Amino acid sequence: MTWITLRQKTKTKKTEEEMARMAGTRLIQWLNLLVWALVMLKTEGANVSITIVEDAVAKGAVCLDGSPPAYHWDKGFGAGINNWLVHLEGGGWCNNVTLCLNRSETRLGSSKHMDKSDNFTGILSRVQNYNPDFYNWNRIKIRYCDGASFTGDVEAVDPATNLHFRGARIWPAVIEDLLSKGMKDAKNAFLSGCSAGGLASILHCDSFQALVPSGAKVRCLSDAGYFINVNDISGARHIEEFYSQVVATHGSAKNLPSSCTSKIKPELCFFPQNVAHEIKTPIIFVNAAYDSWQIKNILVPTKVDPHGTWHDCRRNIKSCSDDQIQTLQGFRLNFLKALENTGNSSSKGLFIDSCYDHCQTELQETWLFDDSPLLAKTTIAKAVGDWYYDRRPFQKIDCPYPCNPTCHNLVTI
C-alpha cells in the first residue's frame, strides 16, 4: 500500500467522521427546533379558520371594498360551552378617501385579503394553563375591515372608488350571525378589543349588552383603546384633527353615543375620556401609561420631528434622553388625568402599568406567561379574570417609569 493510498484513506475517514459530526449537529439542531415548535404550539394554541358572513352583504354590512365581513371562531367546550368572548381586532383608521382606498386593498379593508386562519393566543388561547378563566369559552375574533372602529355608515357608494363606509352595519350583522349559532343561549358574554378594536369595545359596550340575551352576564374590556386628546410636541392637536376627518369621511357622528354628541363636537366623542363615564355596562381598561402607539402617533408623530431627534426614543424608551423622559412623564400625567373621566364606580376596572407597549391581552407573553408584566404582583390575566368573576375588584395604576422591572417594553427597528 502506497503512502498516497494511506493518506487518501485517512483523509476519507476524517471526512466521514466530520460528516457524521455535522449530521449529529444538524440532528440536535433539528430536535431543538422541534421541541421549540412544540412548546410554541402548546403555548400559542392552534390556528382558527375564518368564517365569512356572506348574509351580511344583503344588509349592506360590508368591508371598505364591498366584500363581506368575517370572524374566527374557536368553539367552546365543557363548562364554557355557553360562554362567549368576542374580541375586536385593531388596526388604526383611515381618514380620507385616498387612505381608505389603499386600505381597501389590504386585510384591513377587505375579507378577500384576510388570512384564512388566525393563531389564537393570550386572552383567546384554548390552553388552560395560559388562559385559565376563558380557555374553554367560545372565543371569537371579529376582523376589522371598515377603518372607523365599526362606526361608519354612508349609504351612497362612489362608483369611482367603490368605497363602502359601513362599519356600523358590520357590528350588528356579525353579532346576529353569532346569536344564530348559539350565542342566544349565552350565560356569560365578554366583549374585548385591542387598539382601534379597544376603542370599538368602549363605543359599543352598551350596545353589546343590548344585543345579547337579557339574562347573560355582560362585561367589556378595552386593551390599549383609551386614546387621549393632547397636544403633540409642537403644540398642535394633530389627533383631534385626524379623528375629525375619520368621523366626516365615514359618517360616524350618528353612531357615536348621543349622550356625548348632544353636548360636544362628534369627533370629540371618539375620545374615550368624553364617553367612558356614560358607559353603564361594567368595563375594565387595560393600558400602558406610556402607550407606544400614542407616543409615536399622538405625542410625537413623525411630521413634527423633521430632524429625527426622537427617532431612537420612539423605538426604544431606554434610548430616551432625560428631557425626553420628562416629556413622556408629562404624557403619563395627561393620560391619568383623562382616565379620571371613567368615574369611580366599582364596576369599572383598571390595569394601568408603566410599560412602553401597546396591546397586552392578545400576546401570550404579556397576558400570562412565566415573565409576564405584573401590577400589584398580579398578571393581566389574573386581574381580568378576578374582575370578571367578581372574585375581587381591580383598580390599579402603576408607579412612573422605570419603576416596574417586569415590563416588556416594546423595541422596534
- Residues serving a catalytic function are 195, 291, 358
Measured distance CA(318)–CA(310) in Å, rounded: 12
Measured distance CA(84)–CA(90) in Å, rounded: 19
- Measured torsion, CA atoms of residues 235, 239, 244, 245, in degrees rounded to the nearest 10: 110
Measured distance CA(120)–CA(116) in Å, rounded: 13
Handedness of CA 89, 47, 124, 139 (dihedral sign): positive
b/e per residue, 229-266, with b = 16+ CB within 10 A? bbebbeeeebbbebbbebbebbbbbebbbeebbeeeeb
Residues 106/86, Cβ–Cβ less than 8 Å: no
Measured distance CA(125)–CA(110) in Å, rounded: 25
DSSP designation for 346: T
Measured distance CA(166)–CA(104) in Å, rounded: 13
Residues 6+ apart with CB under 8 A from 328: 290, 295, 299, 317, 320, 401
240 Rama class: left (phi>0) / alpha (psi -120 to 50) / beta: alpha
Single-letter amino acid code for the residue at 35:
V
Measured distance CA(84)–CA(136) in Å, rounded: 9
What is the radius of gyration, based on Cα positions, of the chain?
25
DSSP designation for 295: I
Residue-by-residue DSSP string for 195-214: THHHHHHHHTHHHHHHHS-T
Measured distance CA(334)–CA(312) in Å, rounded: 23
